[in-house]
Structure 1
Amino acid sequence: MFSKTYKYNNYIISIKKYGSYMPSQTDTFLNGQLKADPMDLLEDGIIILSSAGVITYINGSWTEFALKHSLDIAGFSEGNHFLDACMDLTGKGEEAFSIGQGIRDVIEGRSEAFKFKYRSTGPTGDCWFILKAQPLSKNHPASVILQNVNVNKLEMKEPEKKGYENYLSSVLNNLQLAGVMLDANANIIFCNDHLLDLTGWNREEVLHNNWFDIFLPAEIVPEVKHVFIRTIETADFPSYHENEIVTKDGNKRVIAWTNTVLKDGSGRISSITSVGEDITDLKLTERSLLNSKGQLRTLVDTIPDLVWLKDRNGVYLMCNPKFERFFGAKEEEIVGNTDYDFVEKDLADLFTLNDRKTMDAGKPSVNEEEIFFADDGHREFLETIKSPMYDSNGHLIGVLGVGRDITRHKLAEEELQRREMQLRTAQKVGGFGSWEIDLSSGKVDASEQAFLIYGFETKQLTIKDIQAIPLPEYRSMLDTALRDLVSSKKTYDVHFRIIRQNDSSVRDIHSVAEYFAERNVVIGTIQDITDRKQAEDRLAEEAARRRILIEQSKDGIVILDQNGKVCEANQRYAEMLGYSPEELLTLHMWDWDIHYTKEQLLEMIRLADNRGVIHETTHRRKDGTFINVEISGNAAFFGGKKLIFCVCRDITERKQAEEILLNAKIAAEDANRSKGEFLATMSHELRTPLNSIIGFSDILLEGTAGSLNEKQARYIDHILKGGRHLLELINDILDFSKAEAGKMELDRELFSIYDAIEEIKALISPLAFKKNIELDIKIESGLENISADKIKFKQILYNLTSNAIKFTPDKGYVGITAQRFDNMLQISVIDTGIGIATKDLGKLFQPFKQLNSYMTREHQGTGLGLVLVKKYAEMHGGSVWVESEVGKGSIFTFRIPYR
């Protein structure tokens, strides 16, 4: 039996099929009898859509309508989409779009119902129809039932109605089902022979009598009569219902009725036609089946596995409580929906693919799937068995799935794999392998790493193969060790050497093993310790060499623990302190260090690290004398203990030399300061008479005191030039002395760089003009004012440019460039003069130093001009440097900050 239940026109419609009949088949009249789908007795066309809009059911009236109106019957078959069918029904214009949108609104819950009136041409001409859509559940998206109503039949004239009633009577008499026609008062207008045979009444006994008085048990008459009266008044009659009727001999039969109505011109019901099937025996069977179904359902609900049933389209038909937990929803919320409504698309695609493979293969399939339960988020691995489900005719109806929790088994497998991987990794990283010898069979089993250590390619070994691996001198020892292990359970811990099979190299091997008497097997490990042995040998050699170096070192070496106690010291350190090495091992560092307290020394140990530190201190020797010591120390950890390594050098003689040098430096600085003070005093005393000499010489040359002959003028000119040169020398000496004595200060002010350079240009232009030298000034545009000592700034620039002109031959070139360099002002003085040799560049900025190879009578000077340039630049926080090549010229550059 197949059963589907729908809500239609506010009534519950139960479609029941018995035998092999499936709801997807089209019901037709055959040999005067109607197959057992009551929906086919409805004049209205019925279509049922899934929540995805796919046709899942059509009745015979719709098929008949499609044939009469030349529609594509295949387009309305199960599995097609409703929108394609709507386009075939109304065309692909706005009507089809409106129908499609209206039905979607019902599916999605945006509308409770949808109704659309349209015209269609049939054999008798144009007819008007109304297409209604109602949801089949309160959950959305929902399946939908479509009802196609012929408006013309609702408005039949009386003669047409009579003819239609006669037609129905003829049909009912040819049915092997109970048939009856009632008027609006429930009086029997017609009943067919099958109803009379079923109940034992004669036609004369029932015609024109009331249906409730003749056929209904008294206990249900009030309820059914109430429904009947309300139906007549509201013109809304249930298309299907079941109730008991009473036979003439008092027995009761259960009839499943399918009803249709005729209405008069005002739309009121004028008569009711009902066709019924005696389902008494089926009800008894159904009750038994329900009991069995209940037992089966109880079993399904109580088993710990996930159980579910889907149709061919992946729509859920049932599930058990364990499955509800997976989706986090109740069964009534799951049924009618698909995987895509509950899980991510990728997982839903996997489920759908596995379902399709099962249905295509036509046999059960087993899959492993990892899922997360929506109710609490926990993970389970499932072994799912999916079986295709068929009806009694062998038609595929869907997939039954059972999912068994194999999480523990899966996790156990994963844990086993993880442990095996860990073991393989540990053996590979640690360089050891495992082996097992079955003493009963003589078979040997070994890990991959063990074969690699021995250099074997074959994986099949025997005890004899293993015994032949070690070098001959070790075989007797190994045989004895194995016998002692088995017979006396002595410890098997051996070292031996082998010749590795694949490369013939000699390897050092360490092996340990245990004997398991219950299985008569020996299980052990082997490790290739060749590298370790070689490293140990190298360490021993290194330690010996290091000990020799320590003992031969000219510096004292001492090792202290974290408590300041001597752990080790070399002979040199013992000699430095006057102790024997053995005596030092009993001492702490505060026993000889006189600069620091015990607490300070312990704190120094605590703070020491591997970066090292150097400091100086004083040690007290055993005889009470003192030595100055320079200590270079750093910390290291050995065996979890902190050790301090100290290299100690006796610097007593060096300290004495430093003290002598320091005293000499102090004396020199005092002398230099006295010299500066003397020069400053002498320069001041000399300037007064020189100013008089220069002044009177100017007056004499100007002729103010009378005219001079040529010889007198030449002598006076020599006096004037010599006086000016001497005054310049004295001024430079005075400035230098102030700078050296630290008495010169900066007088900062904000001034224009451009204006300052122009002022210097005005001073040096006559000098350049006299030698016919090209003077070129290049100032970067937009240079802002600078905060500096303007006088010293101009002095720097004047000294550099005047020097450039002095050492540049006639018709040469001198240029000044000024530009910004980050937050600094950079000025360069460029000339095409005689240049300076690289070896002489270091003498340029030293006081009273002149480059004799370049000095002529014309070029004589004090040697202090560049020294003052350097002093003034450094006072501003800047610097000065020179680039030069003999015969090509020089570039002097100074750079000072803007602020």
Structure 2
Amino acid sequence: MDNICTRILASAWRGVWAVDWENRFIFFNKGMEDTSGLRSEDLIGKDLMLLLPDQKIMDEVHFRELFHKAKETLTQVHYSLLPIITTQGELKEQSGQLLPLLDEKGAYSGMIGTVEHTSTKKISAALGEHTLAENKLDAIYRNSPVVAFLWKPLTGWPVVFVSENISRFGYHAEEFTSGKLLYSDIVCPEDLSGLNSDVADFEQHGQIYFTKEYRIVTRSGKIRWVTERSMLARDEKGEPSYYQGIIIDITHLKEIDNALKESEKKYRLIFENSPLGIFNFDKDGTITYCNEKIIEILGIPKEKIIGFNMNSSLKDEEMKAAFREVLSLRMGHFEGKYVSQGNGKKVFIKVDYSPNISDDGTLLGGVGIVEDIGERKIAEDKLRKYADELSKANKELESLDRMKNELLSNVSHELKTPLTSIKGYGDLLMEGDLGEMNYKQLKALKTIIRNTERLRRLIDSLLYVSMAEAETITYEFRKIDINDLIDNAVTDMAMPIAEKNIEVLHQVQEDLTQIEGDAEKLTDMLTNVLDNAIKFTPSGGKISIFAKKGGENIQISIQDNGIGIAADLLPFLFQKFYQIDPSMRRKYGGTGLGLFICKKIVDAHKGKIWVESEQRKGTTVHILLPTLQGDI
């Protein structure tokens, strides 16, 4: 070391020592001699680590860890209140710095140790406890990244010494010690005036320790918050001589603090502007704070709410029971009419209580959220009344519907009676049993019989729908042949087929398996499908009937070459009273019940029915009916 540095180090701290890269002492000033009771000439050249047991450092492991940390990281390490028992048996509590020395290539070349402050105590039984407490207090701080300074109390604060870890802010130590930079050069301009003023006041009042938070500017222009902790040394006249201290980067702590303040600000904003009443209470149930909304809801002045004890003063037993759930560390809920104890105001409210529980599981207090549900209650009452009225109206409609079904059923039966007679006498006339008829008479009679049959199918459809809605339809299942069903349906429709000169082709697979079903209703189903096919097929057209077995089903398909149906209308064909176009009702007739009834009958037989069609090319209706179980 050169003489200037040696003199500075010898006088700047109460004690200074230095070792080379092999941990051998190369410097040990008088302050260290006074602190440890050891002599410089006895130590120079000796290994520091071998000396530790003789020094009786009570926290030897801690000191070794700090030393190796500074050596490995090449950063300054601070220690605080490190207890040492000297050779004279005294306890010396000291604090200082471990400053790594670097060579020209930036490699470790040794260590400087400083003692900034010492105090001497007698060794007592309480020493261990005291030392442990001090070390715990220092644990948060001792490993913090700090930068050590020694500067003069002159304009701009010229720097005599600065630790190498000033590089954390982008600067080099020699920039300060050479005079290229003053300490004031890195202080944020906005804070410099205030810092100057505080330092001047500090010096004027004769104080020793100086603490201040301010901002500095890094080499890259970023702003960092630091806290300065300095000791002012004065000369024999009491005038400021130099500042010895450290700065600690607290930017992260500031950011956390600012985030907490911002979070608290947002919380306050939400708290005060919430549409719900919110209040806090302590572990005894006393309300400590509330927002304005709860005052509006309850109509009670704030001064009567703050300090109110819910555990002892609540009169409403249900609300008190809900609150006491919090005392058992559970959430509580109350909903109902509340009569204010302050002014007798009646209000429907909902209150939710939540406990605030500490990390060790004890109750710290809680929060209550109050909502005015008066308008909701009014709406609920209106809705309940409306629902009751709808229920009553629905019952009346059900009654009317039953009456309609009964009327329809009775009328249908009454209409079928004279139709049976008309049909019977018509058949007798056609067969000539009542005498011969001329051509015109026979043609008129055929029209009567055709329309009588049409009217019969219409009445049967209405009767079926009425019975379906009343759920009174019964089915008589028995073994039947598909050929018989098809033949019966074609026979029923023989007259309109002949009148329109439609060719009916049969393509039925031989030896079809029997099915189990209601022959009469399945015939009605096929008759309805054929009726539609005949209705929409032009005179001289063609209808093909296919029947084949597929797996465990028999598929019947009835295909015509009529007007066809648009693809987007196919999903609606099986709805009750649905017709593609009202104009078709006028041209072709019909009620819109045929395919609806067909689907009901097929569903009852656990089958499927669907339609494929193309406009101006024709329509195919497919019916799938299950075969008898066990048949081959």
Larger Rg: 1
Q: What's the TM-score once normalised by structure 2's chain length?
A: 0.49
